[in-house]
Amino acid sequence: MGVIAHEVGNLDDAVELIAESLRINPNNSSAINNLAGVLKDQHRFPEALEFYDAALAATPDQAFIHSNRGNVLKELGRHDEALASFQRALQLDPNSFAAHSNCGTVFKERGQLADAAGCYRRAIDLNPRSHEALSNLGVVLREQGQCDEAVRCLQEALKLNPNSDAVCTNLGMALKELGRLDEALAAHCRALELNPKSHFAFNNLGSLLKDQGRFVEALGCFEKAVALKPDFYLAHNNRGSALCELGRAREAVDCFRRALELKPGYHPAFSNLLFALNYLPGTDRAALFAEHRRFDACYGEPLRARIAPHTNQPDAGRVLRVGFVSGDFRDHPVANFIEPVFARHSREQLEIFCYSNNAVQDDTTARLRSQVEHWRNVAAWSDDELADAIRHDSIDILIDLSGHTARNRLLVFARKPAPVQVSMIGYMQTTGLSAMDYRITDEGLDPAGASEAFNVEQLVRLPAGAAAFRPPADCPPVNELPARTNGFVTFGSFNNLAKVTPEALATWSEILKAVPNSRFLIVGRDGNAAAATLAEHGIASERVEIISRQPMKEYLALHHRVDLLLDTFPYNGGTTGLIAAWMGVPFVTIASDSTTGRAGANLLRPLGLPGLIASSPADYVHRAVVAAGDLERLAQWRAGLRAKLAPLLGDGEAYTHQLQHAFREMWAKWCEAAAPARGAGASPAARGAGASPARTS
């Protein structure tokens, strides 16, 4: 009777009935197993585990009980023990479909995707009509970057069970990766038709909408997912990402912290948290640095004991094998900064390996790939697999181009697969990782004596700047000042809207009020929320124009409509300011004491425009209003900016030469330290060896 009650969902009755039978026959292992199963379905996992252990004490050779026990251990987060239970079940019954499938699930949780795929394929061999196994295999194949095969698997699963909301939403995720967005949207919507309470489907639909720049709609989906399942850590993390994109960083921080409370091991939420903290006005530098160090304590410290001695040949003069790790070897600002290095590096000095952590490839990817000696597509590789590959490639210096931005592989760097590790370009802050030896910067962004206390890495300041920059190809010429034709001044914001804080919008509204008849052009994805905030500050809607994200050619042409850009704060624009200056458009900025708050001033000073650098929001308003009131000076700036910027950018030759020299000095220090204590494996920077390997400008 207890089994029947369980089958019809009367779990409390089932517990009472099975317990009653056990009072009569306490050694009935089948009844003990059944009681454990009911307790598992009630989410009473510790009690369920006790009863599964009792069942196995009575009958230790029952494969299905080992498999059931593994499921409970998996729910408790004890994945290694769960895997051992499933593997014991397979020893007893090599043809156990459930055990093969469950092994696949544990391998997937551990990031061992190849092993997971093998288990699911074996399960499918045993039960070809299992839509669950086909769907699980499809998910793994998608994570391995094999999206075409993933779609085929998921479509086959859908044929077997057309009414599975889980299969529909998994199919939508795979279709999204292939760029088949309309089909992906239809799949997610179908999942929600089948199950309007599917938190997974709402989360996945939100992810699709977020990638399309539909942040408000995405936020609504994530909020529904959280309402349906308050402990769904992925939805909390994604909700934070959507809020961040909408300029609501304070709320985003709370979401990321909640995700980490629910899933402390989910390091992407911690990286998102650190990135969002950079957007908050008034963030204390010491507190921000402490959070970065906490990241290392949570994720770097547990890996430190696994760092093996490095066997690289300590020859200071040989060609260096240098690896670059990034998810942005594509049409992305990082590519504009690193391409001059790839194009102009000396093959007599460096042998470059690129580890591309993105399944998306485009024309920029192909161009970058043609400029380097070796290329690895690693998006589907686990951290252990990538770290092993880097060691196998005998990389001498490993470069992180992401920091805590999307698609970073910082936990690979935490494993210290290369003797010397360097962070540059992608994240203008410390990584916090003890395993990261150096960070490339310049004197303007990180003044000597003012930055060392907030960086775990040794700072290397290059005279040519923190990075080279390649202006976009086929830039249109600089045009005449639009205000002279329009009869009014047009301000603009072309920054990532995540940087557009409520404080910035309030300041910009004061500028618009102080400059009669002026207009404001906002370029970015889902800028309506920013426009709505400006309206709350009294700015009429007809004075504000929103243009969505544009292809590069059209984006560049939009500068022809703007007289003066307004930079974001406290996180300044980087690429945005460079492109604006190249297109003849000056900008007003606020300089602060953080690296991210110095970027605007770091560009305006060498351009001869210190008068556009403000020290406070009130000063920002004053300087913007004064600049807007002098059309003759705006026209002069516009006509001369590209000519002033060109020699500062150069062609990347000087920067690449200085970077290679810095790499050579980093390597020489490691060789010097490694020679008397071969195999120590520790970095010279970590041991405090020597001074900065490149002169401070």
- Look up residue 293 and give its two tokens: 């160090």
The pTM (predicted TM-score) of the whole model is 0.87
Tell me what pLDDT residue 524 has. 87
- pLDDT confidence bin for 3, thresholds 50/70/90: low
What residues does 438 pair with on adjacent strands? 422, 458
Cα–Cα distance measured from residue 50 to residue 42, given in angstroms and rounded to the nearest whole number: 14
Cα–Cα distance measured from residue 658 to residue 442, given in angstroms and rounded to the nearest whole number: 12
As to burial, measured by CB atoms within 10 angstroms (0-12 exposed, 13-18 middle, 19+ buried), residue 179 is exposed
Sheet of strand 420-423: strand arrangement: 374-377, 350-356, 320-326, 397-400, 420-423, 438-441, 458-461
Which of helix, strand or coil describes residue 446? coil
Report CA 145 to chain centroid distance, whole Å: 17
pLDDT digits (tens, 9 = 90+) for 238-258: 999 999 999 999 999 999 999
Cα–Cα distance measured from residue 501 to residue 503, given in angstroms and rounded to the nearest whole number: 5
DSSP class of residue 481?
Answer: -
**Does residue 608 or residue 44 have the better pLDDT?**
608
Listed in sequence order, the residues at least 6 apart from 10 whose beta carbon sits closer than 8 Å to its beta carbon are none
What residues does 441 pair with on adjacent strands? 461
**Range of lowest pLDDT (1-5, 423-427, 638-642, 662-666):** 1-5
Tell me what pLDDT residue 695 has. 36
Mean pLDDT calculated for residue range 203-210: 96
Cα–Cα distance measured from residue 189 to residue 168, given in angstroms and rounded to the nearest whole number: 9
Tell me what pLDDT residue 15 has. 64
Cα–Cα distances (Å) from 452 to 293, 441, 457, 459, 647, in that order, read 14, 12, 8, 7, 30
Amino acid at 585: V
Using an 8 Å Cβ cutoff, are 425 and 401 in contact? yes
pLDDT digits (tens, 9 = 90+) for 292-335: 999 999 999 999 999 999 999 999 999 999 999 999 999 999 99
Phi and psi at 462, nearest 5°, equal -90, 135
Q: Is the pLDDT of residue 686 over 50?
A: no
Report, in angstroms and rounded to the nearest whole number, the Rg of the chain calculated over CA atoms.
Answer: 28
Cα–Cα distance measured from residue 534 to residue 395, given in angstroms and rounded to the nearest whole number: 51
As to burial, measured by CB atoms within 10 angstroms (0-12 exposed, 13-18 middle, 19+ buried), residue 310 is buried
Q: Is the pLDDT of residue 679 over 60?
A: no
- Look up residue 612 and give its two tokens: 């556009």
Using an 8 Å Cβ cutoff, are 500 and 576 in contact? no
Using an 8 Å Cβ cutoff, are 589 and 612 in contact? yes
Amino acid at 265: G
**Range of lowest pLDDT (31-35, 110-114, 693-697):** 693-697
- Look up residue 430 and give its two tokens: 């410390």
- Look up residue 316 and give its two tokens: 């200071």
Using an 8 Å Cβ cutoff, are 501 and 247 in contact? yes
pLDDT digits (tens, 9 = 90+) for 104-147: 999 998 888 889 999 999 999 999 999 999 999 999 999 888 89
Q: Strand 320-326 to strand 397-400: parallel, antiparallel, or no bridges (unpaired)? A: parallel
Using an 8 Å Cβ cutoff, are 620 and 507 in contact? yes
As to burial, measured by CB atoms within 10 angstroms (0-12 exposed, 13-18 middle, 19+ buried), residue 589 is buried
Cα–Cα distances (Å) from 560 to 32, 547, 554, in that order, read 76, 14, 10
- pLDDT confidence bin for 696, thresholds 50/70/90: very low
Q: Give the helix, strand, coil percentages of the chain, each rounded to 5.
A: 55, 10, 35
Domains of the chain (ranges, CATH numbers): 2-205 (1.25.40.10), 206-264 (1.25.40.10), 320-470+654-674 (3.40.50.11380), 482-649 (3.40.50.2000)
Element (H, E) at 68: helix 63-75
pLDDT digits (tens, 9 = 90+) for 82-95: 899 999 999 999 99
User: Residue for token digits 């160090």?
Assistant: 293
pLDDT digits (tens, 9 = 90+) for 556-567: 999 999 999 999
- Look up residue 507 and give its two tokens: 């300041």
Mean pLDDT calculated for residue range 395-414: 97
Mean pLDDT calculated for residue range 659-676: 94
Tell me what pLDDT residue 103 has. 94
